[in-house]
Structure 1
């Protein structure tokens, strides 16, 4: 029986609970020094002078690196621009310009972390300030379109929008906003850099090992094979570690200048600015529908902030283009420049924010029409992608609605707002659609088996805590036909076969395809070795005639004629048998639109007097193709739902409009859900055949879990209280 889909425990679980799992900042090297990043305290202007006199009195100080003495980078990368969007416009101490508060302006290196911190605190920095745009309302007065939105046009149109809006008997025109949000993985960004002559080794907390290798090499003007990047474990990323940020290159520059290995770990406050954020968005939704609920028109206009040094767009309207059958539609994306750090990918970038606006607007329309919110969605169900005019590769959304409504008990919902109570608590039910694109990138993997029958598979991917070690172990064991206990999957080393960024929910679809190809090729190689060996019971057999079972190869016509794989390797006498294979997408996206889908149902209880919101239960049902590990998969989906709760009720980075500094730049005041906020989460994945996306039929699940949750909660709050909150997060003051 296949091991795929089984809820086996994490293969890296013991290493994590025992402390053996080593993260970037936990690597120690002989003679290693400690670095502290120095950041600006103004949002715009330039550095006039940095006085290090007092800092130089600190014992153990090795280096104060600023724009005045930092190594000069090659002309091609001195501006900091390298390979967007994974490579960003970096601040690498090549000039005196300041573009946002908390921008890197120096690196202090000392023999201990305490000495480095003390020396950094003693630096005296003088600035020349310049006007700064720090208010989104002010920034909105001057906007521009991005060149592209994830490779798609910034704007889209089909049909006659104005005619469609006029044709509807019910109309909605509403503005929805989402706030600045900051990634706060438990492990902050961290890099250890060490030079050996002209070769650089980086221990980096990253979502893209190969990207770090290439971009750091390009920035420093050396060859990629001179850079080795190691990352056996990443303590969470959620998008912020998918790009290469300034501190990674600065650590390498400081290590070279100091002449010894350097460790640089960002303070928690430094997570707010120089390593990305989810940008604030203002989204205007227009919907029109006939009295029976069928949409006649829809539009979605997105405005988001970007920095003054580069464009980055939150692609919120892409979801509206494909989710419902609206004959007339227009979408736009616009950017407003502000003196804040550049935004970046954050779990389900675009879909998380976009589904809030779209799904809340649909709920408002359903209330206008007096149609059940689930029924309204079914009446506008898209049987094919209306934007691309392509069939979906697979779509189980109807089943998700039906199953989710039944499990949740949606039929018990009284549609009238403020009509359901439990004692002094107002009870509300809300729902929304979840969706996320199914993507795949080229990847490579190797697989080897030794004389003892132990199998080792490798790929230069990374595990963010999502279960990559475990799932790839299952894929290799299943494809080769050996017990999972005999397989070891290795990752986290740029010298291994190529793997893409762990972002966009692509890792399973991409890397598992390569691991499957490598393990299958290894099985074929073993069969041919045995077939060519007169001593083997399989002598003369061709692959189609050979079955595999629990580490044995056997003749299908005579199952008694069999041989252990380990015996084949041992008799071969040339050490482990190894193969390397690549896997890449073909032309399937020219023929199919590929997305995962789901339905989210939420119950809230709101204190009528205090406005306190509690979420006793959430039900999420998803169609995600083939789930490769039920335990890690359900965990991913639950984590996404929890984050959706945080997005709806808690998360907001607050910037001081006087100086652009995050006033809640810590985990004490940047609020996220904790155990007490999370009650029952019921997750189910429906059976779904996905024959087109990749060889294993798996869709990524890292991000779909957050989508739709914020809207479902906002819709439930309206049902409970009769108050429509269109601006996240839904805090007490907005209900009182």
Structure 2
């Protein structure tokens, strides 16, 4: 009897995964008043009650052979878990394995409670903050062994036969080396690297390169489709809408498999009474891999049923038939066939598995209810993603950045930025560009601007407004940037795609941190963000504070 409505979630980027206790206030008031209630929270209040990225304090030692191959890493992390004790140190260690592929590694981590803002997931939790601090250290090691910074990363970064995380688990594919090669050319790294760093008038040039990474997909979810008697393909999706419309991009996998024009498709989403299948949460950069697979297996089920119906009515075996032009037809005699609309009508007449009255035993109970709701209305395609394969689908992005640093003011101007994604096949070029640029802007905030500072005694936030904690805007990034993809299909996705929602931030955060070190002749701040006052203090020979557990990383 309960209908859950979630037409538009809005940008959450992890902070909306867990419930806020304050969410219950509006629901209770609405129940008492019997009318809609809206809760408004100011930016200052958000610093008190919102879910912030977990801060980290860490220590790392990296051993490298003379040829530049990383042989050992020793990493220890203490997470500032706030009032909830959340931490993402394991993910930070995982990022390290992806970037360095050490022959041996020890990781130790702990999360502590503090009397500060609750902590939770934020875009690329663990991986992105580690990207910002690991990149300058990687540059330092490369310099020690006399290896070009891009070449050093190419030598050590994850490949398709490599591993990720403490379990040393496999990946579906990884082409970071190809992304580095492509980005090196697109950014013209070699030419820029040969230029003078001194620009005159107190300005210094800095070049940086970095890697962003996040696990980008899951398995085992359900797809649900209906072919209507008018020939319309009804695509049912439980994927939410964060404003990126990825739910629609995922649905295109079903349309492609069925070889049906997008104009003849209708998406059903946002309300449980629209008969939605069991779907993943829209987090973890996972939906294009996860639900591209789920949509595909549902389409395969629908195609198999179409061919079976055609064989019943027209003779022969199901294997004698194929689809195309919104028809199922005999391969040896294309004039013998049925339209999609006709197969839908026949499915209703035949009943059973064809119109959804019967369904696979392995689909989720949520999908079972959705299928029951559609039964008798058309030809139903429903299946669980049981596509063979193993390993984590990684989202990898390489970023290249050039900055102009003013040694008089400590201000940083980003001159140019190029990023190349290893995300398999690009499904939606416009959304790809938007995600790449949007994450780039977030990366500037992580590395240079958005600092959380708390009163060490009472845990009260000291930066409660836009001035003290400035989010980056279009004024902080170049108008024109380069966004490219390697475009090598992932072998475990029927549409070849992997996600990139989160590592877009990490790539810029890493490249910008690398560029700051380069502009300052190798100086290491060992912190993120590196803010203007810290740069000024360094140039003036003063100390700057990054005392343990008194400064959050983001």
> Post-superposition shift, 1:234?
1.8
1:406 aligns with 2:205: no
- Give CA-to-partner distance per residue, 1:635-675, whole Å, 9 cap, x none: 21222122111211211233344543334334454311211
- For 1:675 and 1:468, the matched residues in 2 are separated by 23
- For 2:337 and 2:239, the matched residues in 1 are separated by 35
- For 1:586 and 1:561, the matched residues in 2 are separated by 32
> Post-superposition shift, 1:360?
1.9
Aligned 1:515-526 pairs, distance under 5 A: 515-526=295-306
1:682 aligns with 2:482: yes
**TM-score w.r.t. structure 1 length?**
0.64
Structure 2, unmatched stretches of 5+, are 350-375, 537-554
- Give CA-to-partner distance per residue, 1:672-718, whole Å, 9 cap, x none: 121122213211111323223x4433212111211232221121122
> Post-superposition shift, 1:420?
4.5
Note if contact 2:64-2:71 (Cα within 8 Å) is conserved in structure 1.
yes
Closer, same or farther in 2 for the Cα pair 1:435/1:309, shift >3 Å? Answer: closer
Aligned 1:277-356 pairs, distance under 5 A: 277-314=52-89, 315-356=91-132
Closer, same or farther in 2 for the Cα pair 1:276/1:391, shift >3 Å? Answer: closer
- Give CA-to-partner distance per residue, 1:285-343, whole Å, 9 cap, x none: 21122333232321221111113454444432222234323223211212222112321
What corresponds to 1:559 in structure 2? 334
> Post-superposition shift, 1:351?
0.7
What corresponds to 2:541 in structure 1? none
1:638 aligns with 2:416: no
What corresponds to 2:472 in structure 1? 673
What corresponds to 2:23 in structure 1? 248
Aligned 1:501-650 pairs, distance under 5 A: 501-533=281-313, 539-570=314-345, 576-579=377-380, 581-584=382-385, 588-589=389-390, 592-650=391-449
SS in 2 for 1:620: strand
Match of 2:524 among 708, 720, 724: 724
- For 1:666 and 1:526, the matched residues in 2 are separated by 59
- For 1:232 and 1:374, the matched residues in 2 are separated by 44
- For 1:550 and 1:614, the matched residues in 2 are separated by 53
Structure number with higher strand proportion = 1
Closer, same or farther in 2 for the Cα pair 1:655/1:228, shift >3 Å? Answer: farther
SS in 2 for 1:421: strand
What corresponds to 1:363 in structure 2? 139
> Post-superposition shift, 1:350?
0.9
What corresponds to 2:279 in structure 1? 499
Closer, same or farther in 2 for the Cα pair 1:656/1:398, shift >3 Å? Answer: same
Note if contact 2:240-2:282 (Cα within 8 Å) is conserved in structure 1.
yes
Moved over 6 A (4+): none
- Give CA-to-partner distance per residue, 1:187-219, whole Å, 9 cap, x none: xxxxxxxxxxxxxxxxxxxxxxxxxxxxxxxxx
- For 1:719 and 1:494, the matched residues in 2 are separated by 53
> Post-superposition shift, 1:573?
6.4
What corresponds to 1:274 in structure 2? 49
Note if contact 1:351-1:436 (Cα within 8 Å) is conserved in structure 2.
yes
- For 1:451 and 1:593, the matched residues in 2 are separated by 40
SS in 2 for 1:457: strand
What corresponds to 2:358 in structure 1? none
RMSD between aligned residues:
2.6
Match of 1:702 among 501, 519, 531: 501
Structure 1, unmatched stretches of 5+, are 1-225, 534-538
- Give CA-to-partner distance per residue, 1:123-178, whole Å, 9 cap, x none: xxxxxxxxxxxxxxxxxxxxxxxxxxxxxxxxxxxxxxxxxxxxxxxxxxxxxxxx
SS in 2 for 1:708: helix
Note if contact 1:596-1:623 (Cα within 8 Å) is conserved in structure 2.
yes
SS in 1 for 2:120: coil
- Give CA-to-partner distance per residue, 1:525-554, whole Å, 9 cap, x none: 333333333xxxxx1244432222232222
275-284 or 577-586, larger mean C-alpha shift: 577-586
Matched pairs, number: 502
Structure number with higher helix proportion = 2
**TM-score w.r.t. structure 2 length?**
0.83
Of structures 1 and 2, the one with the larger relative CO (CA 8 A, separation 6+) is 2
